[in-house]
Amino acid sequence: MDEQQEEMEMASIVSFIKGQRIQWLGHLWRRSEDDINRVILEWKPTGKRSRGGPRKRWLDGVEEDLHRMGVQDWKELAQDRDKW
């Protein structure tokens, strides 16, 4: 396999993973607000980190992907399983 094919295959894999993350986010968001998975999803750490900037949460990365895709108000959209 040449380098260009490898890059295309990698891009395909990355797109698939991002799609799965977005689907999982919708699934979690439709759960009840007191569900432990939803609570963890929304949790924001408090306090100061000793060194470096703040770490990204899983949700931060998925929200960046949604923003790049032009998705606005994902929380409302995720409530409708068919549209999500």
* pLDDT tens per residue across span 8-65: 999 999 999 999 999 999 999 999 999 999 999 999 888 877 788 777 899 999 999 9
- Whether 47 is in a domain gets the answer no
Domain count, the chain: 1
Structural domain containing residue 59? 2-39+55-79
Residue 45 has phi, psi (to 5 degrees) of: -65, 150
Half-sphere exposure of 31 (CA within 13 A, CB side): 13
- Whether 49 is in a domain gets the answer no
pTM for this prediction: 0.80
- Whether 44 is in a domain gets the answer no
- Whether 31 is in a domain gets the answer yes
